[in-house]
C-alpha cells in the first residue's frame, strides 16, 4: 500500500492509474478507522481495479471547535489497519494547504432542501463543509465509485445530490451500518466512550428495533412520546428522535403505504454525540 502526504505526488499516482484505464474506488474518512470503514474498502475491492482511501479531519464541517479538537487522531494506527486489511492500494493524507489552497472557506451548496433537515438544522454549515471537502477530494482522486456508510444517512443523500449538482460521473454506493456485538453503530467517536457509557449506548439500537416493531401499528406521535420516555434518564440525553421520508428527509407524523421511512436518532452520552438510524419495515 502506498501512502501519499502531498497533493503533487498523489496526483501523479492518480494520473498514471487513469492513463492505464484503471477504475478507482474511493472511501474518504477522517481517520480513527474501525471495522465499518474496512467494510467500505472490502466492497470497493470487489468492484474496482484500484482502491483509494483518504484521511483528513476536515475543519469546515465542525461547527463546534471543541468537537474538532477532541476528534480522535490515530494516523499511524490507521495506516497499519489499512495495510493489514489488504483491500487498499493507496491512502492520501493531505495537509490543510492541499485541501484548502485558497484559505479555509466553505462553499455554499443548494441540495434541494435536504441540507436543512436534521443534522443540517442541528449543525449549521456542516453540510456545506462536507460538500466542500468531498468535492475537492473527488476532483483530486477522480474516482469511478465512491463508498459511504449509511450511519450518516443524510450525508449519503447529500453526496448523491453533490454529484448531480456538479455533474460528476461518480457512482455513489451506500454501505450498511456496521454494528458492535451490542448493536451500537460503529463510529470513530465510540473510542471516547467509557466502558459504562458504551454499555449504556446499546440502548440506542435497541430502541430503534422497538420503533421498527411499533411502526405502522401505533401512531408516529405516540412512538415519539414513548422514545422520549425511554430516554428520560440521567446518563444520556436524547437530542432528537424523528421519523422521516427517506427521499425528502422531511419529518412526518403520518405514513403512506407507497413511501419509505427511516427513524433517525441523536443521543449525547457524556460529551460524545452518537447518531444512528434505521429503515422501517
What amino acid positions are annotated as catalytic residues? Answer: 37
Q: Is 36 in the site for ligand PAF (CB under 6 A)?
A: no
Q: Is 30 in the site for ligand PAF (CB under 6 A)?
A: yes
For 127, residues 6+ apart whose C-beta sits below 8 A from its C-beta are 61, 109, 111, 115, 119, 120, 154, 155, 158
CA distance 35 to 37: 5
Instruction: Flag whether 113 is marked binding.
Output: no
231 close to 237: Cβ distance less than 8 angstroms? yes
Q: How far is the CB of 279 from ligand PAF (least distance, A)?
A: 19
Smallest gap from residue 193 Cβ to ligand PAF (A): 18
| Residues forming a β-bridge with 55 | 29
Q: CA-to-CA distance for 21 and 101, rounded, in angstroms?
A: 29
Q: Which of residues 174 and 212 has its CB atom nearest to ligand PAF in the complex?
A: 174
11 is in an annotated binding site: no
Cβ neighbors of 252 (< 8 A, separation 6 or more) are 220, 243, 244, 245, 261
Query: Which has the closest alpha carbon to 86: 147, 137, 44, 55?
Result: 44
Residues of this chain, 92-131, that bind ligand PAF according to CB under 6 A: 130
Name which of 155 and 207 has its Cβ closer to ligand PAF: 155
Judge whether 80 is annotated as a binding position.
no
| 80: nearest Cα among 55, 99, 108, 61 | 55
Per the annotation, does 37 bind a ligand? yes
Residue 152, interface with ligand PAF (CB under 6 A)?
yes
**CB-nearer residue toward ligand PAF: 137 or 223:** 137
Q: Which residues from 41-80 bind ligand PAF, rule CB under 6 A?
A: 58, 61
Separation between Cα atoms, residue 193 and residue 271, nearest integer Å: 9
Angle between helix 153-165 and helix 126-141 axes, rounded to 10 deg: 60
By beta-carbon proximity to ligand PAF, the closer residue of 98 and 152 is 152
40 binds ligand PAF (CB under 6 A): no
175 binds ligand PAF (CB under 6 A): no
Nearest to 180 by CA among 170, 169, 190, 171: 190
Q: Is 278 annotated as a binding residue?
A: no
Q: Of these, 99, 134, 269, 274, which contacts ligand PAF (CB under 6 A)?
A: 134
Size of the site for ligand PAF (CB under 6 A): 10
Shortest reach from residue 267's CB to ligand PAF, in Å: 18
Q: Is the Cβ of residue 133 or residue 249 nearer to ligand PAF in the bound state?
A: 133
Q: What is the DSSP string of 16-54?
A: HHHHTT--EEEEEE-S---HHHHHHHHHHHHH-SEEEEE
Residues that bind ligand PAF (CB under 6 A): 28-30, 58, 61, 130, 133-134, 152, 155
Amino acid at each position: 500500500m502506498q501512502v501519499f502526504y502531498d497533493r503533487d505526488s498523489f496526483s501523479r499516482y492518480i494520473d498514471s492509474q487513469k492513463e492505464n484505464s484503471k477504475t478507482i474506488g474511493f472511501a474518504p474518512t477522517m481517520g480513527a478507522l474501525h471495522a465499518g470503514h474496512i467494510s467500505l474498502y472490502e466492497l470497493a475491492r470487489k468492484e474496482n481495479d484500484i482502491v483509494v482511501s483518504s484521511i483528513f479531519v476536515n475543519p469546515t464541517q465542525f461547527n463546534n471547535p471543541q468537537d474538532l479538537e477532541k476528534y480522535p487522531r490515530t494516523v499511524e494506527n490507521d495506516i497499519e489497519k489499512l495495510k493489514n486489511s489488504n483491500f487498499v492500494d493507496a491512502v492520501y493524507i493531505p495537509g490543510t494547504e492541499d485541501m484548502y489552497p485558497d484559505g479555509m472557506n466553505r462553499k455554499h451548496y443548494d441540495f434541494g432542501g435536504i441540507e436543512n433537515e436534521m443534522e443540517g438544522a442541528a449543525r449549521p454549515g456542516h453540510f456545506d463543509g462536507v460538500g466542500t471537502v468531498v468535492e475537492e477530494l473527488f476532483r483530486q482522486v477522480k474516482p469511478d465509485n465512491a463508498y459511504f456508510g449509511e450511519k450518516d444517512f443524510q450525508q449519503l443523500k447529500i453526496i448523491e445530490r453533490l454529484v448531480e449538482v456538479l455533474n460528476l460521473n461518480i457512482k455513489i454506493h451506500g454501505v450498511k451500518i456496521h454494528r458492535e456485538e451490542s448493536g451500537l453503530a460503529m463510529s470513530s467517536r465510540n473510542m471516547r466512550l467509557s466502558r459504562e457509557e458504551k454499555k449504556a449506548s446499546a440502548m440506542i439500537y435497541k430502541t430503534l428495533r422497538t420503533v421498527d416493531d411499533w411502526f405502522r401499528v401505533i401512531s408516529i406521535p405516540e412512538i415519539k412520546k414513548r422514545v422520549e420516555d425511554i430516554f428520560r434518564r440521567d446518563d444520556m440525553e436524547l437530542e432528537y428522535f424523528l421519523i422521516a421520508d427517506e427521499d425528502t428527509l422531511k419529518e412526518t407524523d403520518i405514513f403512506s403505504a407507497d413511501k419509505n421511512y427511516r427513524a433517525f436518532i441523536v443521543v449525547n452520552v457524556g460529551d460524545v454525540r452518537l447518531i444512528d438510524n434505521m429503515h422501517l419495515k
